[in-house]
């Protein structure tokens, strides 16, 4: 019957106390706990941690929260949790959609075709870096006249 590390440590401490006080040494003997369920492992990647936390299967520790902040490139002064940052993002999207009155936005793809996308996290990266078309930055006739 194998002892767990905690039981071994407890027995060691009891022996040390007994030697100091000349008390009889007794060994702590307990039954080995039966393993009924396999151990649940926590995700180790940033994406895995975020997915599990958002699904509610785990609660992030402070170390995991800091790991996620570091992975996302936040400064050392950032202290908001993943849930707080997600809540802020939802409020921003809600405000943007309410202010514009639109649920979709039109952008141009790399081939110059118009693409209709929903406003929200899935479209943010594409909206943030729209593809420019030839002539988008060319000055108008009025602007050319001002330049001389």
Residue pair 131/109 in contact by the 8 Å Cβ criterion: yes
Per the model's pLDDT, the better-predicted residue between 95 and 147 turns out to be 147
pLDDT of amino acid 62: 93
Query: Percent helix, strand and coil across the chain, each rounded to 5?
Result: 50, 5, 45
What does the pLDDT look like over 52-86, one tens digit per residue?
A: 999 999 999 999 999 999 999 998 899 999 999 99
Q: Is the pLDDT of residue 116 over 90?
A: no
What is the pLDDT at residue 60?
93
- C-beta separation of 57 from 41 below 8 A: no
Neighbours of 53 (CB within 10 A): 20
Distance CA 78, CA 85 (A): 10
Whether 105 and 119 have beta carbons less than 8 Å apart is answered as: yes
Supply the angle between the helices 46-55 and 62-72 in degrees, to the nearest 10: 120
Q: Determine phi and psi for 120, rounding to 5 degrees.
A: 155, -175
- Taking alpha carbons only, the member of 109, 128, 106 closest to residue 117 is 106
> Could you count the other beta carbons within 10 Å of the beta carbon of residue 54?
12
């Amino acid at each position: 019957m194998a002892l767990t590390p905690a039981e071994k440590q407890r027995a060691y401490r009891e022996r040390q106390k007994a030697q100091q006080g000349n008390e009889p040494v007794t060994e702590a003997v307990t039954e080995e706990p039966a393993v009924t369920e396999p151990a649940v492992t926590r995700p180790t990647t940033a994406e895995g941690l975020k997915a599990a936390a958002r699904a509610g299967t785990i609660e992030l520790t402070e170390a995991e929260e800091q790991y996620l902040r570091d992975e996302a490139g936040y400064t050392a002064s950032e202290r908001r949790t993943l849930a707080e940052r997600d809540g802020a993002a939802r409020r921003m999207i809600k405000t943007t959609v309410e202010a514009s009155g639109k649920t979709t936005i039109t952008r141009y793809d790399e081939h110059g075709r118009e693409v209709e996308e929903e406003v929200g996290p899935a479209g943010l990266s594409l909206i943030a870096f729209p593809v420019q078309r030839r002539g988008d930055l060319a000055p108008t006739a009025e602007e050319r006249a001002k330049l001389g």
